A and B are shown apart, each in its own frame.
Chain A
Amino acid sequence: MAKKTNRLYYKIRKSPIVVIGGAVLLWIAGVAAGEPERVWEQACQICLSCIGLG
């Protein structure tokens, strides 16, 4: 019984859920635009300028 009462006092934070939800929406928008394929293409090439060569 006491355990049940204690649980009522937990203040669940909503801000992380809102932030993560917003980020998921961004991710979905990017995926829908076809970005992962572009990211994959970039990541599969040695980016010489990225590592200070070339």
Chain B
Amino acid sequence: MPTPTKGRRLGGSPSHERLMLANLATSLFEHGKITTTEAKARRVRPLAEKLITKAKRGDVHNRRQIMRTIRNKDVVHKLVEEIGPHFSDRNGGYVRITKTLPRKGDNAPMAVIELVAEKTVTSEAEKARGTKFAADEKPAEAESAESAESADSADSADSGDSADSADSADSPAAEAGEQADEQAESEKKDEA
């Protein structure tokens, strides 16, 4: 017996469901971030991740496989040329679902589903160090040898990059910290 689909069934018929999921995936790749009901978001995530995996391979066969689901050629082009390469250093988990407040009107649980924009922690660290893990070393041996020759310049440049990226990554937390400091200062003034 085939395994039943995980999650809610959508629409009135299997073809209707396929169309709804395909349209949701198309909108997701077109805009990068969409707001929908939580049930639809949970159904579209596996489909979208499989399409991105095909887009990462990016040859003609995989492009045709994507075309079976996404009928808009502009979106297929964007998926293969921009979204696929963007996720080259991430193994799955390309899409994030965040719950939001229920919809006014029918109180349906809503969610924001988006393509993950951040780079992975390991890729950031590798970029900062200019090296790779021993497991990933073999294909990148030539690169590491080159980087060793220009070690000084690479190190200085990389350290600057890493500092910048760390700043940008921590910006919400840093802002929060600053505001907390301001609050603390104002409290001190009050005491005085």
Task: State whether these chains interact.
Answer: no
